[in-house]
Structure formats: C-alpha cells, structure tokens
Amino acid sequence: MSITLVALGGALGAVSRYFIGHFIMSKRKTSSMPIAMVIVNLVGSLTLGITVGLYLPSENPLNDSLYLLFNIGFFGAFTTFSTFSVEAMQLLHKHRYKDFWIYVLVSIMGSVILFGLALYILTV
C-alpha cells in the first residue's frame, strides 16, 4: 500500500508541476530566466515545510498514509532538483551568467528559507 500511495502522489506532483510550469511560462514568454521552476520549487518548499511541520510530533510519519502520499510522493515529484540542474546548465551554456547566479541563489536559498520558515512557525 505504501508504494501505491507514493506512486500516486508522485504522479499527481509531476503532472501538477508540468501544468503549473506550462501556465506560468505561457504568461511570461519573454522571461530571461526559468521562472516557472523557481516558483514551483519555492511554493513546494514552503508547503512541504508546513506539512513536515505538522508531522514532527509524530513517532514515525512513514507509517502515515497522507505523509506518504503528499510529502514523499507529491512533493518529491512536484519540486525537482533535476529540472533545476538542467535549466541552470542551459543558462551557463548560453553565457547568461547573471541569470545563472540569480536562478541558483534564489532557488536554493529561497527554498531552504521558506521551508525553514514554515517549519519554524509550526514548531514554535
């Protein structure tokens, strides 16, 4: 049952990432940076921080169906380091060094800060 929940959550997360990314990019055709993945990763990190914070008091969240479905499955597929890496390398390949550093710093620092902020708010 656990594998099914993770797989279902992963499928929903991947499809959600695709549609949200497509929607954002259709509205920002002239963006010099892959803004859709930045937004997806920041929103995903914030929301994951909230959901992880809700499970911190739990003895073993891996025994919880909703944790498996959302935290492991959905957010594991919704936020993605592989797409981030591809887009960062594409910026470097195009010699867009300023955009590369902004993309990398905002994506990594923003994701960690938003996750930590959500977790802190829920555990204080």
Binding site residue list for Na(+): 76, 79
Identity of residue 109: M
Which residues carry a binding-site annotation? 76, 79
- Which helix or strand (DSSP H or E) is residue 2 part of? helix 2-27
**What are the DSSP calls for 3-67, one per residue?**
HHHHHHHHHHHHHHHHHHHHHHHHH-TT-SS-HHHHHHHHHHHHHHHHHHHHHTTSS-GGG-HHI
